[in-house]
Amino acid sequence: MPRVLMVASEATPFAKTGGLADVIGALAPALAARGEDVAVLMPRYRGINVEGTPIAYQDLRVRLGVQDYTANVHCVVERKVPYFLVDCPPLYDRDGLYGDPGGEDYPDNHVRFAMLARVVLTMIRYVFRPDVIHCHDWQAALVPILKRTLFAGDPTFMGMPVVLTIHNLGYQGVFPPAALAEMGLDASLLTPACLEFFGKVNLLKGGILLSDAITTVSPTYAREIQTPELGFALDGVLKTRRDAIRGILNGVDYSEWDPTTDPLIAAKYSAANLAGKRDCKKDLLAAFDLPAASLERPLVGMVARLAGQKGFDLIEQAAAELAAQDLSLVVLGVGEPKWQQFLEDLHAAHPEKVGVRIAYDESLAHKVEAGADIFLMPSLYEPCGLNQIYSLRYGTVPVVRATGGLDDTIDESTGFKFREYTGAAMMDALRRALAVYREPERWPAMMRAGMSRDYSWNASAARYSGLYRRLME
């Protein structure tokens, strides 16, 4: 079985800002369950308790530019997977993972994740020697760059392929040229064949060019990122690596997301007995301070990062028509101040129909999945998406834009899709859903069809295992 070291900036249950953490926290145990020897390396952020845990490497020293850093690497085992947590307080002991509470990125993020990459290479040499290194997103993209440049002649890393998974091409790790020296890199790497990107440093670009294989989190997204529309100016670079790109659909962790066992929802239910879903709807309405009388009208739920990518501009376009429909809407999320204010204004204008919670709340996210009738995901792009898959299992019918993993996971028997990125197209799909909601036989049949779908990690983990083996050969 391949021995795999995953490198990521976040993973449940230790630190999470989005779907990346869910993927790492579920894929690693799924690989371990298949017999793979897998470990994860990530930063130890503030709030991660490592008291009393063994130290895998003490006083690991790294020089980046003119700065010296020291880290201790703790080992915590979670679901039979060892997590190596890099404890370097000057870089990781902060309020946020990537930025301050106001949403501004930390200006030294390039140094923070250059440190992570350098620790990876030291850990491989002395602690955990893998057959394959699996890096996730731009925060880990410096690993293949270092391996193929500064450490190109080091026999420790020869014959050790690197997989780079792109979870969201919209985030690339772009920094000014001065960042090279601050990361301890030579200026010769600032070329179109490596890191140069419109005069700046692009870490994800370098990772794409220098990794042995590239994966994305759905087959459709693998195709979309090679187009000008969704390539974020890297479509040309990606086309040069088209033979190395594969789309492997994310799975979901049904031990955490299943209405038959979920401890966070008001009542358990199943496809065979849907009665508990009404109790969950009642509980959700109360959680958002919506009137109990709303129980008889369809309830639309959203759990999303409040960003343009998630389609909130379409909600804004269609706000008047949306409010005129016989439905209630609940939205949970945090993000850009513009969209937070828009949602708060929408709630203020329609307090009896619109509930808003500006927060990251895992427990409430489960309540939305269980209590809503319809789950709305009108994304501009969606590499994979997890909430629409959670929604299927909870019998909450998705209305989605046909992009990325949304297009791969929802069909006419389980939900409703629209293609044109307009508020009108979104409302057309939502009206189609509302029409079926009023049909007492069709709607439960659609709920049960979704609940029967299996998007567990078993199939995805098998595809990753196959990729690792092919690379080793």
What are 106-151's pLDDT values in tens digits?
Answer: 999 999 999 999 999 999 999 999 999 999 999 999 999 999 999 9
Long-range contacts of 123-126 (CB under 8 A, 24+ apart): 123/5, 123/41, 123/56, 123/57, 123/73, 123/84, 124/5, 124/156, 124/157, 124/160, 125/156, 126/57
**21 and 155 within one domain:** yes
pLDDT in tens, 333-391: 998 999 999 999 999 999 999 999 999 899 999 999 999 999 999 999 999 999 999 99
Domain of residue 326, residue span: 275-453
Answer whether residue 17 shows pLDDT above 90: no
Confidence of residue 217 (pLDDT cuts 50, 70, 90): very high
**193 and 159 within one domain:** yes
Q: What is the pLDDT of residue 360?
A: 85
Long-range contacts of 263-272 (CB under 8 A, 24+ apart): 264/362, 264/363, 264/366, 264/367, 265/366, 265/367, 265/370, 265/371, 266/367, 266/370, 266/371, 269/370, 269/395, 270/451, 271/395, 271/447, 271/448, 271/451, 271/452
Separation between Cα atoms, residue 79 and residue 313, nearest integer Å: 40
Kind of pairing between the strands at 162-166 and 37-43: unpaired
**219 and 298 within one domain:** no
Q: Is residue 263 part of a domain?
A: no
Average pLDDT, the chain: 96
Our count of domains for the chain comes to 2
Phi, psi for 335 (deg, rounded to 5) = 165, -135
Q: What is the pLDDT of residue 396?
A: 98
Answer whether residue 187 shows pLDDT above 80: yes
CATH at 368? 3.40.50.2000
pLDDT in tens, 85-94: 999 999 999 9
**463 and 447 within one domain:** no
For residues 383-405, average pLDDT: 97
**118 and 53 within one domain:** yes
Question: Looking only at Cα atoms, what is the longest distance across the chain?
Answer: 70
Q: What is the pLDDT of residue 464?
A: 97
Q: What is the pLDDT of residue 356?
A: 98
Q: Is residue 270 part of a domain?
A: no
**137 and 17 within one domain:** yes
Answer whether residue 283 shows pLDDT above 80: yes
Q: Is residue 131 part of a domain?
A: yes
Answer whether residue 102 shows pLDDT above 80: no
Answer whether residue 103 shows pLDDT above 80: no
- The lowest-confidence range among 4-8, 125-129, 306-310, 422-426 is 306-310
Give the rounded percent of residues in the chain with a pLDDT score beyond 90. 94
- Here the tokens at position 300 are 């639309």
Q: Is residue 8 part of a domain?
A: yes
Confidence of residue 18 (pLDDT cuts 50, 70, 90): confident
- C-alpha triplet 335, 103, 169: angle, nearest 5°: 70
- C-alpha triplet 88, 362, 9: angle, nearest 5°: 30
**244 and 318 within one domain:** no
For residues 206-220, average pLDDT: 97
Q: Is residue 92 part of a domain?
A: yes
Do 167 and 141 contact (CB within 8 A), yes or no?
Answer: no
For residues 46-59, average pLDDT: 96
* Strand residue runs (E) in 334-425: 354-358, 374-377, 397-401, 416-418
Do 354 and 346 contact (CB within 8 A), yes or no?
Answer: yes
Q: Is residue 400 part of a domain?
A: yes
Give the rounded percent of residues in the chain with a pLDDT score beyond 70. 100
Q: Is residue 261 part of a domain?
A: no
**294 and 217 within one domain:** no
pLDDT in tens, 246-267: 999 999 989 889 999 999 999 9
Q: Is residue 269 part of a domain?
A: no
